[in-house]
């Protein structure tokens, strides 16, 4: 009997990738806080998760039946959206609010750690099941 990691690990395997990509976007926002005209961006977590889960489902039903077929990709690229600024324009067109970005980055890091811990417990459970404990 084969193990289905999509079923065994649930949503947590997808959240790690999304949280990691969001951390990069938020770090980019903070790095460009003084860049004139830079528009803060963010990842829509719900939409990205739905896309990642949809890709996982579609990979299960697609089969490569010919050597000329392209291999399916497990990578997803969440759509980046521009953030609505919380502060008035300072005249340079930059929409990065450093305090908001730091808070978002910290929240994302905590949620990333939670996903890592959930995955860790899932793997521990799978290991126990395989060992027959």
Is the whole model's pTM more than 0.85, yes or no? no
pLDDT, tens digit, for every residue of 40-95?
A: 999 988 888 888 777 654 444 445 566 665 554 444 567 788 888 877 777 888 99
Beta strands 41-43 and 80-82, pairing class: antiparallel
* Nearest Cα residue to 50 out of 18, 23, 97, 81: 18
Confidence label for 17 from pLDDT (cuts 50, 70 and 90): confident
Q: How far apart are CA 49 and CA 17, in angstroms?
A: 9
Distance, in Å, from the CA atom of 93 to the CA atom of 110, rounded to the nearest integer, reads 31
């Amino acid at each position: 009997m084969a193990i289905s990691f999509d079923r065994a690990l649930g949503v947590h395997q997808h959240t790690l990738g999304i949280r990691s990509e969001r951390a990069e976007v938020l770090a980019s926002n903070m790095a460009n806080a003084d860049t004139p005209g830079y528009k803060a961006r963010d990842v829509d977590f719900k939409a990205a998760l739905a896309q990642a889960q949809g890709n996982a489902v579609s990979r299960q039903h697609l089969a490569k039946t010919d050597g000329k077929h392209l291999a399916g990709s497990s990578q997803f690229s969440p759509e980046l959206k521009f953030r609505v600024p919380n502060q008035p324009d300072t005249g340079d067109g930059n929409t990065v609010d450093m305090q908001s970005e730091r808070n978002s980055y910290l929240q994302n890091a905590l949620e990333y750690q939670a996903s890592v811990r959930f995955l860790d417990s899932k793997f521990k459970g799978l290991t126990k099941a395989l060992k027959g404990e």
